[in-house]
Chains A and B, each alone.
Chain A
Amino acid sequence: MANHSQLNFQDASSPIMEELMGFHDHALMVALAICSLVLYILTLMLTEKLSSNTVDAQAIELVWTILPAMVLITLALPSLRILYMMDEINEPDLTLKAIGHQWYWTYEYTDLKNLTFDSYMTPTTDLPLGHFRLLEVDHRVVVPMSSTVRVIVTADDVLHSWAVPTLGVKTDAIPGRLNQTSFLANRPGVYYGQCSEICGANHSFMPIVVEATPLANFESWSSSHPS
């Protein structure tokens, strides 16, 4: 989860999120270079006391056409690389369905047994000490770590969005449509997210909690969890 007043990304817990953070650093570096260039030239122009009656300047026009094109290519290539990486065929070990409702999520694990449960936010009045306000749920999504998990996201009523920032996942839940995403949790842990598409009065109160555990623990959890 994010700390209070956090502006940057949460630590990455999946390989895709690590790539996205690297790309963000790259894009921000390019943006910083351009902004500092513009600021320098702006300051220069504002302190300029000489005048000019130049009417054409072919050389500089060529430069300020070619250079931005090169900048765009520098941004596009890593972006497309990650886009295609996210869409690679990866043969997931587990498929999980996430169905958005007003205002809770339903999760279905139907690979081996018919395991379905709803996940409601824990109200603040019922929150145990040390738990996170507006982020905890009554039933978490337990997944095996270091395994590719496919999530099929849809909604029952209005638009929702299933997002877990630390895993680099955000997928819209659209009624009548199945959207697919996948992730791989590098480490065991508890990962928080929140509904990311406005869906009514309690849009801010339908969080997502993914719990990644070793495979053995996941198997014992799923076999002990009532269907």
Chain B
Amino acid sequence: MRGLLARRMKFHLLGAFLVSMGCAALYKFGVAEPRKQAYENFYRNYDPMKDFEAMKAAGVLESAPPN
């Protein structure tokens, strides 16, 4: 019956550490990595001139009015 608090605390401190690492891992692989991947995917085949022509045709650019 000795060391009840110490045993409980050791167990839960480890549990707390695992929970916090779990939360961090969840954020990293649920938010941060998908965001990086989304940017990579966007720029992989990105054509700025095609984008510019689309914006010009839509008339959103002051310096490049549509023809």
Contacts and interface: CB of A to CB of B under 8 A. Distances in A.
Interface of A: 12, 18, 21-22, 25-26, 28-30, 32-34, 36-37, 40-41, 44, 48, 50-52, 139-140, 142, 145-146, 186-190, 211, 213-214, 217-218, 221
B16 to A, nearest CB: 4
24 contacts: A18-B39, A22-B36, A25-B27, A25-B32, A26-B32, A28-B27, A32-B23, A32-B24, A33-B20, A33-B23, A36-B19, A41-B13, A44-B12, A50-B5, A50-B8, A139-B62, A142-B63, A188-B52, A190-B55, A190-B61, A213-B64, A214-B48, A214-B52, A217-B52
A52 B64 CA distance: 75
Given A28-B27, A29-B27, A37-B16, 10 more contacts: A18-B39, A29-B24, A36-B23, A37-B17, A40-B12, A41-B16, A44-B16, A139-B62, A187-B46, A214-B49
Interchain residue pairs A-B with the least CB separation, the first 6 = A37-B20, A221-B63, A25-B32, A33-B24, A188-B52, A40-B16
Contacts of A34: 20
A137 to B, nearest CB: 9
Q: Is the interface of B mostly helix, strand, loop or mixed?
A: helix
Nearest to A50: B5
Give the interface size class of chain B: 20 to 34
B60 interface: yes
A171 to B, nearest CB: 23
Nearest to A187: B48
Contact of B31 (A25, A186, A187, A217): A25
A226 B48 CA distance: 28
Given A22-B32, A30-B24, A211 B51 contact: no
Nearest to B36: A22
B19 A29 contact: no
